[in-house]
Amino acid sequence: MAIVEYAKSFVGTGYRYGGRDKTGFDCSGFTCHVMNHFGISIPVTSKLQSDQGQKIHWKKAQPGDLIFFGRRGKINHVGIVTQNTGRKIYVVHSTSSSGVKVDEIVNNAYWAPRIFGAASYLNRPRLRWESTGED
């Protein structure tokens, strides 16, 4: 899938708070940049990305869908699914400790307990007032 391959091309890019380009990304800036590259307009914060995407169960997330992480009922991180085998889910995301990288999250002691939900922006009809990213 083109979205996944494009997202993975940034592996190794450093973390930058508020970053939305290849000089450095924060988590939601990364997902926003990748989706906008394909003409899919999404909000710039992980909370709004979760709110406005088509909700799906995180176990059914497919490549290109977004997975959200959080604690104490608040979303604070987002990544793009690269693969879902049914037993493992891999995401590409920008972390403050390592920049853009791929992690398996289901069997990961850090990420698994923080999985909050998932949303899709793929094959979702656009509302008339939504930007197409071609301003």
Residue type present at position 3: I
Domain ranges, ordered by start, for the chain: 2-120
Active-site position among 33, 37, 57, 77: 77
Please state, in angstroms and rounded to a whole number, the distance separating the CA atoms of residues 104 and 88.
6
13, 61, 77 from 58: Cα distances, Å: 26, 5, 14
Has 57 been annotated as catalytic? no
Residues in the chain: 135
pLDDT tens-digit series, residues 76-88: 999 999 999 999 9
**In this prediction, what percent of the chain has a pLDDT beyond 70?**
91
**Rounded mean pLDDT, 19-47:** 97
CATH number of 2-120: 3.90.1720.10
Has 37 been annotated as catalytic? no
Asked whether residue 68 carries a pLDDT value surpassing 90, the answer given is yes
pLDDT tens-digit series, residues 5-19: 999 999 999 999 999
Identify the band that residue 135 occupies on the pLDDT scale cut at 50, 70 and 90. very low
Predicted local distance difference test score (pLDDT) of residue 133: 42
